[in-house]
Amino acid sequence: MNVPLKNAEQDMRAALARTPVPMAMLAELTHRCPLKCPYCSNPLEMIRKSRELDTETWIDVFHQAAAMGVLHVHLSGGEPASRRDLPELLTGAREADLYTNLITSGVGLTAAKFADLAERGLDHVQLSIQGVDGGTADRIGGYKGGFEKKMEVADWIAKEGIPLTINAVMHRQNLDRLADTIDLSVKLGARRLEVAHTQYHGWAYKNRTALMPTMGQVKRGGEIVAEARERLKGTLVIDYVTPDHLADFPKPCMGGWARVGLNVTPEGKVLPCHAAETITTLEFENVKDRPLAEIWDNGDAFRAYRGVDWMQDPCQSCDRQAKDFGGCRCQAFAWTGDAAAVDPACSKSPLHGEMRAAAIADGEVQADEFEYRLM
């Protein structure tokens, strides 16, 4: 039989045109948190407790997500342990047959509370660390005693045999301790380490001159990770992404807009990514008003940048469009006022040079004072 060769590009376009099945949901249960990290990924304007979704609504959202094909739910915040109903929410997520990941600072958990979560079937914990010693970590997190508490929590996680990922947000004031961060992760029994360079939106953008790493630090960081990955094969998996302004091509932000994951805010707004509200030209719908699946499939904000048809040049004619999806929409909007523009992290962006120069200049500023996150 004579079968014509398939056109790979046409296949790719057809696949991108179909509404994808989401893999993961980030459930921001609350914005409340005892820590005050100056790079917090929550928005500058935070949702107060009185506006948070109630227990039943969250559990309903978990069931809706599972029915859409979501496999992983990330219980996040703020600090998710700030919600008194965290145990009920965890049980609800497990009963919806979702894989549950608790993204926590550790602060607010007790041995008894944690044992209860483990008993209820918690699958995985992602524990943040702000530094590798109490002095540094507590100054960055703006919470005295936080580091010591985290070490205790890591011990409970290990005793329960729950897999642990350490999440270390890196910046100028802790990047020189990257090798120690890797060592500490191994010592705590982590299976994974996320070396997460600060993303400069919201709070982090406010604090960029105190956080932006120097070129030298970033280069050294990449080398340390490459060496450690080889040495720790089978012990620790290290996730690492080069910071935007030093890369030639942008990161495939969110694996593509509205393609892999979605985010629900404490008050129930459904976002294609946690920072999407910085794109002020978009409106976001709420789970209280419309079923989650409809918002995912047909919501204006989700359809706006799904696939590749919305792209302009240089993205539209770029052979990398299905690799990096034009980068980050929020960053494109912040720099150009048009979220459909190419991310300035891309070397094909006319603003790439300017962005790089600004980041390098921020990295050279000798000001270490933070403007801490406030509710």
Q: Reduced to 3 states, what is the DSSP secondary structure of residue 28?
A: strand
Question: Among 135, 233, 280, 369, which residue sits at the site for another protein (rule: CB under 8 A)?
Answer: 233
Nearest to 193 by CA among 204, 180, 203: 180
- What's the gap between Cα 347 and its chain centre? 24
Q: How far is the CB of 185 from another protein (least distance, A)?
A: 13
Structural Rg of the chain based on CA atoms? 21
Q: The tokens 């497990």 sit on which residue?
A: 94
Q: How far is the CB of 86 from another protein (least distance, A)?
A: 18
Q: How far is the CB of 78 from another protein (least distance, A)?
A: 20
- Give the x-and-dash track for 78-117 against another protein (CB under 8 A): -------------------x-x-x----------------
Question: Among 34, 87, 163, 291, which residue sits at the site for another protein (rule: CB under 8 A)?
Answer: 163
Our CB check for another protein shows the closer of 293 and 360 to be: 293
- Give the x-and-dash track for 175-204 against another protein (CB under 8 A): ----------------xx------------
Question: Which amino acid type is present at position 308?
Answer: V
Our CB check for another protein shows the closer of 16 and 23 to be: 23
Q: Does 165 bind another protein (CB under 8 A)?
A: yes
Compute how many other C-beta atoms are within 10 angstroms of the C-beta atom of residue 303. Answer: 17
Q: Measured between alpha carbons, how far is 135 from 133 in angstroms, rounded to an integer? A: 6
Our CB check for another protein shows the closer of 88 and 123 to be: 123
Window of 32-40, 108-116, 233-241, 244-252 that interacts with another protein by CB under 8 A: 233-241
Q: How far is the CB of 236 from another protein (least distance, A)?
A: 9
Compute how many other C-beta atoms are within 10 angstroms of the C-beta atom of residue 232. Answer: 16
Compute how many other C-beta atoms are within 10 angstroms of the C-beta atom of residue 152. Answer: 14
Q: Does 232 bind another protein (CB under 8 A)?
A: no
Q: Does 290 bind another protein (CB under 8 A)?
A: no
Q: How far is the CB of 190 from another protein (least distance, A)?
A: 10
Q: Reduced to 3 states, what is the DSSP secondary structure of residue 250?
A: coil
Mark 86-109 as b/e (b = at least 16 C-beta within 10 Å).
beebbbbbbebebebbbbbbbbbb
Nearest to 198 by CA among 319, 313, 71, 38: 38
Question: Among 55, 57, 63, 71, which residue sits at the site for another protein (rule: CB under 8 A)?
Answer: 71
Q: Measured between alpha carbons, how far is 123 from 214 in angstroms, rounded to an integer? A: 37
CB 252 within 8 A of CB 325: yes
Our CB check for another protein shows the closer of 4 and 161 to be: 161
Q: Torsions phi, psi of 34, nearest 5?
A: -70, -25
Take residue 217 and report the two structure tokens written for it: 């630090």
Window of 108-116, 158-166, 251-259, 268-276 that interacts with another protein by CB under 8 A: 158-166
Our CB check for another protein shows the closer of 160 and 183 to be: 160
Our CB check for another protein shows the closer of 67 and 115 to be: 67
Q: How far is the CB of 238 from another protein (least distance, A)?
A: 12
The pairing of beta strand 99-104 with beta strand 164-170:
unpaired
Q: The tokens 């009963």 sit on which residue?
A: 95
Question: Among 88, 123, 176, 183, which residue sits at the site for another protein (rule: CB under 8 A)?
Answer: 123
Our CB check for another protein shows the closer of 4 and 234 to be: 234
92 Cβ neighbours under 8 A, 6+ residues apart: 55, 58, 59, 62, 63
CB 188 within 8 A of CB 164: yes
Q: How far is the CB of 125 from another protein (least distance, A)?
A: 9
Contact positions with another protein (CB under 8 A) in 2-41: 21, 23
Question: Among 10, 50, 112, 161, which residue sits at the site for another protein (rule: CB under 8 A)?
Answer: 161
Q: What does the binding site for another protein look like in residue numbers (CB under 8 A)?
A: 21, 23, 67-69, 71-72, 97, 99, 101, 123-124, 126, 160-163, 165, 191-192, 233-234, 237, 239
